[in-house]
Structure 1
Amino acid sequence: MWAYLAPIVLLTLANVFMTFAWYGHLKYPHHPLWLVVIASWGIAFFEYCLQVPANRLGYTVYNAAQLKTMQEIITLVVFIGFSVLWLGVEIRWNHLVGFGLMVAAAFFIFMD
């Protein structure tokens, strides 16, 4: 069972780091670009320390398309939470419909 869950847990944690690396600086537009690039690289290092093992472990029970699809859905869920909690962005109905369609696409990827 852990072989199926470990990639999900690791991908979720990795996506939290990556979301902060890519979008966390948007809350601080007055910081110099060079500084946020270096900070983002530092944060992204920890994302890779989780992402690579997640894919390595996950590939023992999931195929590559399933891993990528899983990662994208996790990214959307993490990004919604990040947008609301960190950036204070309102998620609107059309965002949810678009994300829902992506989840529906994931359903077909996981069908045998």
Structure 2
Amino acid sequence: MSVLAAMNLPPSIISILLLIASNVFMTVAWYGHLKYAHSKPWLLAALLSWGIALFEYLLQVPANRIGIGVYTLPQLKIIQEVISLSVFIPFAVFYMNQPLKLDFLWAGLCLLGAVYFMFRGA
């Protein structure tokens, strides 16, 4: 975080960048084991996922603490959801070899609607 602060970025951008990094770890922790460790015992997959999720929390907690100073709680949550889908789709397509579907676009448009409602009048 100190690197981002040293770059004189506004808290709104620092929060978003930390949430993006956090979501990369979150996505890998939640779904990455399905590619290579799906035949391993679930306890091993859970422990591996928890280890990865630690890094998610080390980024997510400061991201939310910084973000709450510039966003409302609902705005912060909807930013998180948009970032989550934005990270998940490339992960699913490029890492997990899932087909790119038009449904991803429709889901993204629904989230844009949610963003509109959370930020209108802000």
Partner residue of 1:43 out of 27, 35, 52: 52
TM-score normalised by L of structure 1? 0.95
Q: Which has the higher contact order (CA 8 A, sep 6+)?
A: 1
Q: State the Cα deviation string for residues 15-67 of structure 1 (Å, max 9, x = none).
A: 00000000001102122211110000000111000000000000111010000
Q: State the Cα deviation string for residues 52-84 of structure 1 (Å, max 9, x = none).
A: 000000011101000000000000000001001
Percent identity between the two aligned chains: 46
Partner residue of 2:63 out of 54, 74, 90: 54
Q: Any gaps of 5 or more consecutive residues in structure 1? A: none
Checking the alignment, whether the CA contact within 8 Å between 2:22 and 2:59 is kept in structure 1 is yes
TM-score normalised by L of structure 2? 0.88
| 2:42 is equivalent to residue 33 of structure 1 | yes
Q: Which residue of 1 aligns with 2:118?
A: 109
| RMSD across aligned positions (CA) | 1.0
Q: Which residue of 1 aligns with 2:105?
A: 96
Q: Which residue of 2 aligns with 1:70?
A: 79
Question: What amino acid is the match of 2:83?
Answer: I
State how many pairs are aligned. 112
Q: Which residue of 1 aligns with 2:93?
A: 84
Checking the alignment, whether the CA contact within 8 Å between 2:82 and 2:111 is kept in structure 1 is yes
Q: Any gaps of 5 or more consecutive residues in structure 2? A: 1-8
